[in-house]
Amino acid sequence: MRLLVTGGCGFIGSNFVRHVLGHFGPESITNVDALTYAGNPANLAGVPEEFGERYCFHRADIADAAAMEAVFARHQYFAVVNFAAESHVDRSIDSPENFIHTNVVGTSVLLNAARRHGVRRFLQVSTDEVYGSLGPEGRFTEESPLKPSSPYSASKTSADLLALAHFHTFGQEVIVTRCSNNYGPYQYPEKLIPLMITNALNDEPLPVYGDGLNVRDWIHVEDHCAAVFAALLDGKPGEVYHIGGDGELRNIDVVKLILAELGKPESLIHYVTDRPGHDRRYAIDSSKTQAALGWKPRHRPEQGIRETVAWYLKNREWWEPLRRKK
């Protein structure tokens, strides 16, 4: 079985490539990535040497129809797993057109190419941000109304709807997964957890939006990857599956946990003007996924974050060049 994984040099995509190749031989993966700022070949260091012909890489933009036609013509793929996305909310506020290009146009190009080439399955990797903000109680379910708050989440909502429309219109075996906030190894140091870790290690201020009381449901990237693979194999076409970590934490508590783990003072915390349209709380109900796919998260966020801190301590050679690029 050969998979076409897009965005496989990014944070979640690279962890998925490692997960599948390391646990599920003899599956093979073709990885397509445009290597924009967050696509880092170092995320897959050693993979070509370890897995040989089971892994190959093509640098290309998923919104480039001609380039995608060439990629799809190379192999007969069982499925496309679409991780490729512009994903940082702040950047979407500054340059929304980049998010439309990759997240909407790119998804459309992939869906059309997959249909023309007889690819059996198409898994669209999405986010709980498509639902907007929750109040203090309750969780998002797969039936919650879509209310995106940022250009990023609006572009992901559009891509999800395109994918599901291809199921209804063309009969493609489309599956959509929506996850909560990921953390773990190889996350680009603009996101909350790696930014706080790397700033603290350099004794730099830790910027916290607003009052820091925004709540997120945190899931370890390894748990997310396991759920995506389960959905790919056993999910029902046309369905949406939630992938959550059952780990709600306030942003400020995440920051303080990181500081305590590193032995750094809380005086490094620097409250900054809140992000426009900043959603107050996300929480995701993954009971459908757990029941239908036999999956459940293995990592608790407090311990998982401590393990992530340890990974960044051991891998300065990976993240220090990325900080210099910013």
- Residues whose CB is less than 8 angstroms from the CB of residue 171 and which lie 6 or more positions away in sequence, other chains included: none
Q: How many domains does the chain have?
A: 1
pLDDT score for 130: 97
Omega before 26 cis (within 30°)? yes
pLDDT tens for residues 194-228? 999 999 999 999 999 999 999 999 999 999 999 99
In angstroms, rounded to a whole number, what is the distance separating the alpha carbons of residues 10 and 2? 20
> Do 2 and 55 touch, CB atoms closer than 8 A?
no
> Residue 91's pLDDT is what?
87
Q: Does residue 303 lie in a domain region? A: no
- Could you tell me if residue 197 is inside a domain? no
Please measure the distance between the N-terminal and C-terminal CA atoms of the chain and give it in whole angstroms: 38
Backbone dihedral region for residue 149 (phi beyond 0: left; psi -120 to 50: alpha; all else: beta): alpha
Residue 193 and residue 170: Cα distance in Å, rounded?
41
By mean pLDDT, which of 40-49, 84-93, 183-192, 281-290 is the weakest?
Answer: 84-93
Is residue 61 scored above 80 in pLDDT?
A: yes
Give the pLDDT band of residue 33 (cuts 50, 70, 90): very high
What are the structure tokens assigned to 189, written together? 């140091």
**Alpha-carbon span 105 to 109, nearest angstrom:** 6
Residue 132 lies in a domain: yes
Please list the active-site residues: 128-129, 152
- Residue 284 has what DSSP assignment? B
Would you say residue 304 lies in a domain? no
CATH assignment at residue 26? 3.40.50.720
Q: Is residue 179 part of a domain?
A: yes
The pLDDT score that the predictor gives to residue 271 is: 98
What's the chain's average pLDDT?
A: 96
Look at residue 73 and tell me if it is in a domain. yes
Tell me the mean pLDDT in the region 84-96: 87
| Percent of residues, the chain, with pLDDT higher than 70 | 99
pLDDT the model gives residue 286: 97
Domain that holds residue 224: 2-186+220-244+282-298
- The rounded distance, in Å, linking the Cα atoms of 16 and 10 is 10
pLDDT at 326: 58
Is residue 191 assigned to a domain?
Answer: no
Q: Are 159 and 178 in contact (CB under 8 A)?
A: no
